[in-house]
A = this chain, B = another copy of it.
Amino acid sequence: MRQSQLFTKTRREAPKDEEAKNAQLLIRAGFVHKEMAGVYAYLPLGLRVIDKIKRVVREEMDAVGGQEMIMTSLQRKELWETTDRWNDKNVDVWFKSELKNGTEVGFGWSHEEPITDMMKSYVESYRDLPKYAYQFQTKLRNELRAKSGIMRGREFVMKDMYSYNTDEATHKAFYDSVIEAYLRIFDRAGLGDRTFLTVASGGAFTQFSHEFQTLSDVGEDLVYLHREKKIAINKEVLTDEVLAQLEVKREDLEEVKAIEVGNIFNFGDVKSKQLGLMYKDESGEEKPVILGSYGIGITRLMGTIVEVFADDKGMVWPEAVAPFLVHIVSLVPNDPAAVAYADSLYEDLAKAGVEALYDDRDARAGEKLADADLIGIPCRVVVGKSTLESGKLEVTYRKNGETKLITREELIEFATSATVRHG
């Protein structure tokens, strides 16, 4: 994409009404636009990041057998009354409205109920199980405060998967496969070394649920981390009994701030009993289906990546989720030979299947380089006067600031193989 065509612009100053670093940087770089507190539009660069994250998540959900679909935002009151989650006392984040005929409706903040209810159309016997369905859904939650930028919004994108199994053993096997898939997702998103499987309280059916917590000073959660065993414990279950069960000692735990980027939960047969999702087993006996739910906040993950990697110059995107892999910065936009060189480099990368942002704007070099740092694309390639003389391109890695002089062929080969690697 030619940067001169992009409808957004960068800005030097952070917006005054944003406390969170992620929102400040994303707005300054033109990735998002704030519609109201906790409600952001995703502009071309920002939408590209969301799409990259979705691609990683989709691949891993498909790999464990998930099938993608999309539920509705509008929700039926009667359905949520069945599980006693319509009441504002039990669920305090509903947005509600009404149809023209006065029927009350809600806007989806979660989707266990409608998906489980829908499954009644498709599950009759053990032969119809297991089933794994997931969606990328825009959730609406009426949060009292929304000060964390895109990390806790009133409107945000979530991947939620739901598993339907006949029994606890097959459920457990799938649940464990999702733990592995989630760890792969956070690894591919660049957060692998600072994201930890975390034991949390389980609810009615099981002792524990599991969270995935990414270490960060801006995290809202406090967790107790055993670095060596790569496991963390949520404060709510930090008892001597649980420590013994997990075979860790209290003195080996570190108290750390973290951001919850994912969670998985075993509902057992509770919700299926409430909603009437039953199946007939081999002997014809009616049994409730075992339900698990598995969430990753897509936009929260994006915000977390900004918070964790940004430096004082701007954002730093890991390759797999960067809006573009390569940022071509033309420093002499008025030199026809250099422009022709940059144009053909941009076209050659496109032909090789490599997505590049091409700063072809008629602007000062300093402004362009500052914008490149702010936007944070992994690999910056400068085309200047010396490029044509030397035949070498100056490539700088945003991650560590390392600069190399490489040939055009080396750049295309590096970029092509990185593109293939990240799908």
Which residues of chain B come closer than 8 Å to A35, judged between CB atoms? 71-72, 74-76, 114
CB pair B72–A9 under 8 Å, yes or no, is no
The answer to whether A400 has its CB under 8 Å from any CB of chain B is no
CB pair A47–B68 under 8 Å, yes or no, is yes
The answer to whether A42 has its CB under 8 Å from any CB of chain B is yes
Give A5-17 as 1s and 0s: 1 = Cβ < 8 Å from B's Cβ atoms.
1111100000000
* Among candidates B39, B44, B97, residue contacting A97 with C-beta atoms closer than 8 Å: B97
CB pair B95–A70 under 8 Å, yes or no, is no
CB pair B44–A69 under 8 Å, yes or no, is yes
Stoichiometry, copies per complex: 2
Which residues of chain B come closer than 8 Å to A105, judged between CB atoms? 36, 95
Give A113-125 as 1s and 0s: 1 = Cβ < 8 Å from B's Cβ atoms.
0100011011000
Give A70-87 as 1s and 0s: 1 = Cβ < 8 Å from B's Cβ atoms.
111111100000000000
Which residues of chain B come closer than 8 Å to A142, judged between CB atoms? 97, 99-100
CB pair B96–A69 under 8 Å, yes or no, is no
Across the interface, name the chain B residue whose C-beta is closest to A7: B131
CB pair B70–A42 under 8 Å, yes or no, is yes
The answer to whether A43 has its CB under 8 Å from any CB of chain B is yes
Which residues of chain B come closer than 8 Å to A144, judged between CB atoms? 100
Q: Which of A126-160 contact B (CB under 8 A)?
A: 128, 131-133, 138, 140, 142-144, 154-155
Interface of A is mostly: mixed
CB pair B122–A9 under 8 Å, yes or no, is yes
Q: Which of A150-175 contact B (CB under 8 A)?
A: 154-155
Which residues of chain B come closer than 8 Å to A122, judged between CB atoms? 7-9, 30
The answer to whether A107 has its CB under 8 Å from any CB of chain B is yes
Which residues of chain B come closer than 8 Å to A114, judged between CB atoms? 35, 41
CA distance A87 to B140 in the complex (A): 23
* Among candidates B46, B69, B140, B143, residue contacting A41 with C-beta atoms closer than 8 Å: B69
Give the interface size bracket for A toward B.
35 or more
Across the interface, name the chain B residue whose C-beta is closest to A154: B74
The answer to whether A40 has its CB under 8 Å from any CB of chain B is yes
Which residues of chain B come closer than 8 Å to A121, judged between CB atoms? 9, 33
Which residues of chain B come closer than 8 Å to A73, judged between CB atoms? 73, 138, 140, 155
* Among candidates B5, B9, B96, B155, residue contacting A67 with C-beta atoms closer than 8 Å: B5
CA distance A42 to B107 in the complex (A): 17
Give 18 new A-B contacts, CB below 8 A, not counting A9-B122, A33-B121, A41-B69.
A5-B67, A7-B67, A7-B131, A9-B121, A35-B72, A35-B74, A35-B75, A35-B76, A36-B74, A39-B72, A41-B118, A44-B67, A46-B69, A73-B155, A74-B154, A100-B142, A100-B143, A138-B138
- 9 contacts across the A-B interface (CB closer than 8 A): A7-B133, A8-B122, A30-B122, A36-B74, A36-B105, A44-B67, A73-B138, A74-B154, A96-B97
